[in-house]
């Protein structure tokens, strides 16, 4: 490939990257509702086009799950027994957003009667699409970066439901010179949680309290797991007794006691 053609394809790549990166969701990537069976709930997804030119956007629904390794799974309806995909209706699956403007896509949720207790979810995918795919390039490879968004829509009914979080793995590791505690936490109950992990340290010799340290708050769907990290780089080397808690914003708390050895260096 000549230098001229190489530069041409690089230009195409950056043009597509900048165009598709111009689409952003401005009202959150998780929409969570507590609803009675038979209640109609309305919501919107607000999409902004920050570019100067118009952009087409398509929307489609999928089931969704993830695990503590950081892997996410987007699948067609049918594999997740707690999917609410069929309860959600979008008012459109394709729209054109003018440059430097916003558009709202509305949706309706209706929880059927006699559903299981707890939380159900699916995602709405928002993805930019081309007006016309260029077809006059005869040689070489055309590059394009695709940026898409996943908006979780979580519905929790008002029936009494089981809450249970478990610690699958606890590991102290060194990341960029810092001691980082990694906690793999699973949601083995039926309720969607917003979770904060904490560790409180006590000197193993005299029992004195050496402080409490927290993770970021993360959402955690039933039947899924996430990795929570806590920075312990400020804690001196030594042996500690520790109390680890996973607490939800709805005051569900689950804990475990461990012995923790923070090495020198």
pLDDT exceeds 80 at position 260: yes
Question: Which of 43-57, 97-111, 124-138, 174-188 shows the lowest per-residue confidence on average (mean pLDDT)?
Answer: 124-138
pLDDT band at 153 (very low <50, low <70, confident <90, very high): very high
**Tokens matching residue 263:** 């090495």
Q: Where are the domains of the chain?
A: 3-157, 165-262
What are the pLDDT digits (tens) for 96-127? 999 999 999 999 999 999 999 999 999 999 99
What are the pLDDT digits (tens) for 155-171? 999 999 999 999 999 99
Q: How far apart are CA 217 and CA 93, in angstroms?
A: 32
pLDDT band at 264 (very low <50, low <70, confident <90, very high): confident
Answer whether 156's CB lies under 8 Å from 119's CB. yes
Largest CA distance in the chain: 76
Answer whether 59's CB lies under 8 Å from 107's CB. no
Label residue 217 exposed, middle or buried (CB < 10 Å: 0-12, 13-18, 19+): middle
Q: What is the mean pLDDT of the chain?
A: 90
Q: Is 8 helix (H, G, I), strand (E, B) or coil?
A: helix
pLDDT exceeds 80 at position 4: no
Contacts of 130 (CB under 8 A, 6+ apart): 56
pLDDT of residue 64: 98
What fold characterizes domain 3-157? Immunoglobulin-like (2.60.40)
**Does an H or E element contain 6, and which?**
helix 3-20
**Beta strand pairing status for 149-157 and 30-35?**
parallel
**Do 3-157 and 165-262 show the same overall fold?**
yes
pLDDT band at 3 (very low <50, low <70, confident <90, very high): very low
Tell which CATH classification among 3.40.50.300, 3.30.420.40, 3.90.470.20, 2.60.40.10 matches the domain 165-262: 2.60.40.10
Q: Is 9 helix (H, G, I), strand (E, B) or coil?
A: helix
């Amino acid at each position: 490939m000549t230098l001229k053609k190489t530069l041409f394809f690089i230009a195409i790549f950056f043009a597509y990257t900048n165009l598709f990166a111009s689409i952003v969701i401005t009202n959150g990537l998780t929409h969570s509702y507590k609803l009675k069976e038979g209640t109609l709930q309305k919501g919107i997804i607000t999409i902004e086009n920050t570019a100067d030119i118009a952009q087409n956007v398509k929307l489609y629904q999928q089931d969704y799950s993830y695990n503590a390794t950081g892997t996410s799974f987007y699948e067609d309806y049918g594999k997740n027994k707690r999917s609410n995909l069929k309860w959600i209706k979008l008012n459109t699956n394709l729209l054109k957003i003018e440059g430097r403007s916003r558009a709202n896509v509305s949706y309706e949720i209706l929880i059927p009667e006699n559903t299981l207790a707890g939380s159900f979810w699916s995602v709405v995918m928002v993805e930019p699409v081309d007006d016309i795919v260029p077809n006059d390039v005869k040689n070489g490879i055309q590059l394009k970066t695709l940026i898409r968004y996943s908006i979780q829509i979580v519905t929790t009914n008002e029936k009494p439901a089981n809450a249970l979080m478990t610690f699958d793995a606890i590991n102290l590791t060194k990341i960029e010179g810092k001691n980082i505690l990694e906690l793999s936490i699973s949601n083995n109950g039926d309720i969607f949680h917003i979770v904060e992990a904490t560790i409180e340290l006590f000197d193993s010799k005299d029992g004195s309290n050496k402080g409490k340290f927290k993770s970021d708050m993360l959402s955690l769907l039933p039947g899924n797991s996430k990795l929570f990290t806590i920075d312990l780089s400020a804690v001196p080397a030594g042996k500690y007794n520790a109390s680890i808690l996973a607490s939800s914003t709805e005051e569900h708390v689950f804990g475990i006691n461990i012995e923790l050895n923070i090495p020198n260096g």
